[in-house]
Each structure stands twice: as structure tokens, then as C-alpha cells.
Amino acid sequence: MAFKRSLLKTSEETFDHICTPCAEDDLIKEALKYCVECQQYCCKDCLTSHRRISSLKGHTFLDNSSVKTQGQPRSLPSIPTKQCSKHLGMIMYMYCENHDAICCYVCAAEDHKSCKDMMSVSDNIDRLYNKTDATKATSELSVILDNMNQWQDDTDTILQQLQDSKVTAIKAVSDCRVEMEKFLKKLEQESIKEIENEYKKLESQILEERKIYEDSIDDLKTLQQLIEQASGNIAQLFVCTKLAEKKCATLVDDEMKKERFNQAEVKFVPSELLKSSIKKMKHLGEASAISSRKTNLILYKATKICDMNVRLKEDTPEDNCCIWGSCIIDDTVIFTDIKNHKLKRYDILSSSLIDYCDVPVGPYGVCRVGDKQVAVACLNEVQFVSIHDKLSLLHSINMKHDCYGIAYSNNKLYITDGDKSLYMYMYDMSGKLLKTVTSDKSGQSLFVCSRHITFNDKNDRLYVCDFNKGLVCFNAQCDYIETITYDTRPNGVCIDGYGNVIVADIGSQIIQCGRDGQKCDMIVYKTGGSPWSVCIHHGLKKMFVSFNDSNTVEVYKLF
């Protein structure tokens, strides 16, 4: 593959191989040889450095005459130079075809020791390399890069929004202080007004009493003058004396009866309630950080890669298989075949049968209930099956209703009856019934034909398929939330590893929905029949779609 200048600092030339050390310095130069010990391609200048440095002089170099290649001739042998991020110094030149993964020798020994199709990239490059794949990968990288750049820009916008909100919040604190100061100023004015009122009331009383004393003093002075003036008139003196005695007696009597002011002042005592309230407060108000998140949804695209044959020689010869339910267990997928009364487990990497087991009555839905078990809905009972080593039947719980769809979460089993009800059971040996749901709060029936069911751990939502009603949504306590209707009729449903809801429409379509169950896009426009179940291995990016009367399961590659 020819390399062309992109962001690297050099001319617009193209080369079959570029110098590895120079590329690390954002320079692109044509490689002339490959150094085996350094595991790098080298340009003319880097080859000169090898000759000058004593520790590098003994290195071995390869060119086009060193390795025999088939197909298109190359100026240098095609050898990977990318180092493993997990094992320092190890080059990633091994390829696991089972997992479609590149790795180094140490990774191969640790993670792929049971894989059958391990090979050297260099030895098999003519078979492995496909220009179309590289073009496709470049295109996908470009799309994802655009998404990441957009999400980064969105994050920058949100950060600016956060910074702006901080400034606004701080200003709100200052405004609150100003408002409080205005309020306190008003309280101050009202308190002063109250002091003035109290002062005037008391002042008026004191002035009134002072006026009485003032009038009495004037009367006494008048009588005193009359006595002084009547010194030559005995009769006048007698009259004035008697008047003076009477006045004095009256004043003494009045003073003895009343209380006089001996203190007068106006005080202000601050409100203890206000003071204690302010002292208890740590802030002028409440500060909080508000945020919301949404999933960076990447819509799937699907390509059908094969039809997996699920018919066994032990199956009944007169009928096709009927794969009603499916469930991902690690790197395997378990199918329920109701016509042949079997659970069938297949290896996802090789699409080969691992094992199977017979069940007493036709199995419908299946879900994982722990590391070592699955629960299978079998008409009027739930059968527990060990998935350790070989599939083997364990105990079962008899139910008083039909059992079709089944899901598990947090020690609860959720079961549909294929009719008009949803049941929630305690996951234990007895299977205690906790709740039965048939209608909403207004009494309207929620189901016509309740089928497949799945639980979304990402948002604790339960989704029930009813191809007459739609996708019926509940919380973990089986409280009804909403019914989502499409232009389609949902029959099968599963959750991918990111919380997206995948719906199999009975009209031959596979639909991707968000965590809320709302339709996002169509993954498959036309399957090979009317799908009954769908499941996804998100790590291997594979999707399995089963059908009512078919010996095959369609396998899709997601990207």
C-alpha cells in the first residue's frame, strides 16, 4: 500500500514504505531497507546512523532480494512495525482469524492459545490484505473521527456553557447580597420609625406631666404673691392663707396618689430570631451543579455473513426447526427449538455446535440468571439449566399460567404468558409471585399478545414485545411507563452492550432503538423470513436472527 503525505512535513511524494523513525517525528521519507533487530523501516539517513553507531552496526537489513513474495512485487518485504501497547517492544505481527484480531506473540500465547486459526501477518499478507478493506476502514475511521471531532466541539460548547453559568451564578450571589442589603435597609428604616414612635409616645406623657407641674407652680407663686401683698389687710391675708393651705393640701394629696417618672429612655433590642437564622445559614442560598447525559449513539450497519444450520441429525425428520428464543452466553449462543424440545448451544467464532440438551416440553424464551445457569420458559413451568461444561437440567418451578418470554434482573424473573399478562417473580427455589400486570391505571389492557421480553440494565427498563400493541415499557418494579408504537410489529427484542434496544419486527425488519426504546434506524430491511428472536454479541459485533419454521439462523456482521 502506497503512503502519501497527509499531516506529515515533507513533499507530496508517494512511497511503498516509509521510514518508521522519521514518521514518529512527523516526517515522511522513503524507506530503503528493513532492520530486523529494530523492527523498523529505515531511510537513507537512518541507515547511515546504523553504520555510525557501534551498537547498531551488526543489525541485519532486508530488502526486496531478501524475501520471496507472491503477487505484486514490492521494493521491500511487507513486515508490520506497530508495537503492542500491552507488551513493550513486541511487534504486532500475529493475526487471529477466529477473533479477527491483530496481536503480538505474547498476546497470542496468553489470549488466543485455544484459537485454531493463528498466523503470521507477513507470511500471509497476500491472502489477508485487501485494498477494499483498507479503503473501507479508512472511510469508517473518517466517519468516527468526524463524530469524535463533533463530540469534542460539543464538549467545548458545554464547558463554555458551564463557565458562563458560573459567572451568572456568582453574579446571582452578589445580586442576592444587594437584595438582602436593601431588605436590611428597609428593616433599619422601619426600626428607626418604631423608635421615633415609642419616643414620641413617652415624650408626650412626660410633657403632659411637666405641664401639670408647671401649672401648679404658677398657682403656688400666685398665692405666695397674694399673701405678701395682703400683709396690711388682715382679712385678705386670712383668705389667701386659707387658699394656700387648701392648695398645698390638694397638691400633696395628688402627689401621694400618683406615680412620678423616675426614668425614661428608648432602647432597641435586635431580633434574636433574625440573628440566629443568619448565624445558622452557611450561604446566601443553595448552589447545585445540574447536568444531563445522552448516549453518543452510533447507528449500526449490518451485513449478512452466513446462514447458521441449526438442524441436528437427532431432530425429528418430519418438521423444520422452530427457534423461538436465543441468548448470548460469553462467546456462545443458546437457541430454544420448540419443535424438537431442545436447547442448542453454538460457538459464535466457528458457528459450530458445542452441545445440546432435551427438555420435557417445548422451550420458548431463555435468559441468563447467573454465571452458571439459564432460565427457560417451558409452557407452564420455568426450567433451570446448568451451562457449566455441558448443558444439563436442574430444578424447575411450576407456574399457574403459560410461560413464553422470560428476562432476569436483580433476583427477579419477568415472564410473559403469550397473551395479556406480565408476571414478576422472586428468583428463588419457590418462585414467589410478586406482581401481575394486565392493565394501566385507567384499566386499559396493556397486551393483546405479550411475547419476547428483555431487561435493560443501563436504565432499569423492561421491554415487552406485543406485535399488536407495540413495545410496552415498564420500570424494574413492573410499573407501566409507556407503549411505543412503530410502523412495524415488534416480536423479538434484545439489548446490545451499550443499552440500545434491538427490535425484530414480524414483518422481516430489524430496528435499532435508543435506550428509551424510541426508533433510531433500520439495521436490516429484509430478513429471510418473519423473525422470532434476535440477539447480539456486542464484543464480536455479530447479530443472530431466528425464524419460526426454518433450519437456519441468519448471522449478521455489525459495523
Instruction: Give the CA angle between residues 100, 103, 108 to the nearest 5°.
Output: 95
Contact between 456 and 512 (Cβ < 8 Å): no
Full DSSP string of 172-223: HHHHHHHHHHHHHHHHHHHHHHHHHHHHHHHHHHHHHHHHHHHHHHHHHHHH
- How many whole angstroms separate alpha carbon 428 and alpha carbon 407? 14
Cα–Cα nearest to 369, from 341, 329, 335, 404: 329
Residue type, 85: S
Helix (H) or strand (E) holding 144: helix 131-229
Q: So what's the pLDDT on residue 373?
A: 95
- How many whole angstroms separate alpha carbon 15 and alpha carbon 2? 5
Report the predicted TM-score, pTM, of the whole model to 2 decimal places: 0.60
Q: Which residues contact 505 (CB under 8 A, 6 or more apart)?
A: 486, 488, 489, 490, 491, 511, 531
- How many whole angstroms separate alpha carbon 516 and alpha carbon 500? 8
Q: Which residues contact 555 (CB under 8 A, 6 or more apart)?
A: 304, 305, 306, 307, 308, 351, 542, 543, 544
* Residue 39 Cα distances to 59, 122, 329, angstroms: 10, 13, 40
Q: Which residues pair with 510 in a beta bridge?
A: 504, 524
- How many whole angstroms separate alpha carbon 21 and alpha carbon 14? 17
- How many whole angstroms separate alpha carbon 166 and alpha carbon 552? 60
Cα–Cα nearest to 416, from 373, 444, 374, 447: 447
Q: Which residues contact 284 (CB under 8 A, 6 or more apart)?
A: 173, 176, 177, 180
Helix (H) or strand (E) holding 388: none
Q: Grid coordinates representing 541?
A: 459485533
Full DSSP string of 160-180: HHHHHHHHHHHHHHHHHHHHH
Q: So what's the pLDDT on residue 73?
A: 47
- How many whole angstroms separate alpha carbon 177 and alpha carbon 179? 5
> Taking the CA of residue 366 as centre, how many other CA atoms within 13 Å lie in the half-sphere pointing to its CB?
31
Local confidence pLDDT in tens for the 559 residues of the chain: 444 433 344 444 667 788 988 988 888 888 888 888 888 889 999 998 888 888 888 888 887 655 444 444 455 777 888 888 999 878 898 999 888 889 998 999 998 988 888 999 988 888 888 766 777 777 777 877 887 888 898 889 889 998 999 999 999 999 999 999 999 999 999 999 999 999 999 999 999 989 988 998 999 999 999 988 887 888 998 999 999 999 898 888 887 778 888 899 999 999 999 888 888 888 888 888 888 776 667 789 999 999 999 999 999 888 899 999 999 999 999 999 999 999 999 999 888 999 999 998 889 999 999 888 999 999 899 999 999 889 999 999 999 999 999 999 999 999 999 999 999 999 988 899 999 999 999 999 999 999 999 999 989 999 999 999 999 999 999 999 999 997 889 999 999 988 999 999 998 999 999 888 888 899 999 999 999 999 999 888 999 999 989 999 999 999 8
Q: So what's the pLDDT on residue 66?
A: 55
Longest dimension (CA), the chain: 166
Question: What is the sign, positive or negative, of the torsion defined by CA atoms of 241, 246, 252, 258?
Answer: negative
Beta strands 501-505 and 342-347 are unpaired
Residue 370 burial class via C-beta count within 10 angstroms: exposed 0-12, middle 13-18, buried 19 and up? exposed
- How many whole angstroms separate alpha carbon 247 and alpha carbon 254? 10
Q: Grid coordinates representing 441?
A: 391505571
Coil, helix or strand at residue 60: coil
Coil, helix or strand at residue 228: helix
Terminal alpha carbon distance of the chain: 24
Q: Which residues contact 405 (CB under 8 A, 6 or more apart)?
A: 325, 364, 365, 377, 415, 416, 418, 450, 451, 452, 453, 464, 465
Cα–Cα nearest to 310, from 329, 335, 341: 335
Contact between 116 and 149 (Cβ < 8 Å): no
Domain ranges of the chain: 1-79, 85-129, 141-280, 302-558
Q: How many CB atoms lie within 10 A of CB 270?
A: 8
Contact between 357 and 364 (Cβ < 8 Å): no
Q: Grid coordinates representing 545?
A: 436472527
Question: What is the sign, positive or negative, of the torsion defined by CA atoms of 277, 281, 283, 286?
Answer: negative
- How many whole angstroms separate alpha carbon 51 and alpha carbon 488? 71
Q: Grid coordinates representing 488?
A: 412495524
| Domain boundaries 302-558, corresponding CATH code | 2.120.10.30
Coil, helix or strand at residue 118: strand
> Taking the CA of residue 271 as centre, how many other CA atoms within 13 Å lie in the half-sphere pointing to its CB?
8
Contact between 34 and 64 (Cβ < 8 Å): no
Coil, helix or strand at residue 102: strand
189 φ, ψ (degrees, to nearest 5):
-65, -40
Residue type, 245: E
Cα–Cα nearest to 328, from 543, 502, 40: 543
